[in-house]
């Protein structure tokens, strides 16, 4: 039987903490970060600066976040696999 439900991916716990720590530091140096004071947003009117890549495996999900500037971080919580 085929499961037609859409997949849902969620950041929580350690993954969310890793992401927030990385984002806080990365925003300090990223040329595409906009704190709302710039007259034009370099990453577009609807955002899109960050791409979240979820790769399902037999053990868990690999989660990588990539910024428009090219920097990326692996926030996978391997301890919970």
pLDDT tens across 40-61, in order? 666 666 778 999 999 999 999 9
Q: What percent of the chain has pLDDT over 70?
A: 88
4 domain residue, yes or no? no
Total of domains in the chain: 1
7 domain residue, yes or no? no
19 domain residue, yes or no? yes
Choose the weakest-confidence range: 5-9, 30-34, 37-41: 37-41
9 domain residue, yes or no? no
Backbone torsions φ then ψ of 44, nearest 5 degrees: 105, 165
Q: Is 65 exposed, middle or buried (0-12, 13-18, 19+ CB in 10 A)?
A: buried
8 domain residue, yes or no? no
Based on its alpha-carbon atoms, the radius of gyration of the chain, rounded to whole angstroms, reads 15
- Tell me which residue range forms the domain holding 73: 14-80
């Amino acid at each position: 039987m085929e499961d037609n439900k859409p997949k849902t991916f969620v950041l929580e716990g350690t993954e969310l903490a890793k992401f927030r720590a990385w984002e806080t530091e990365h925003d300090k140096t990223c040329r595409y970060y906009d704190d709302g004071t710039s007259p034009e947003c370099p990453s577009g009117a609807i955002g899109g600066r960050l791409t979240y890549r979820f790769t399902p495996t037999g053990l868990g999900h690999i989660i990588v976040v990539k910024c428009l500037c090219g920097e990326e971080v692996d926030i996978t919580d391997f301890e919970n696999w």
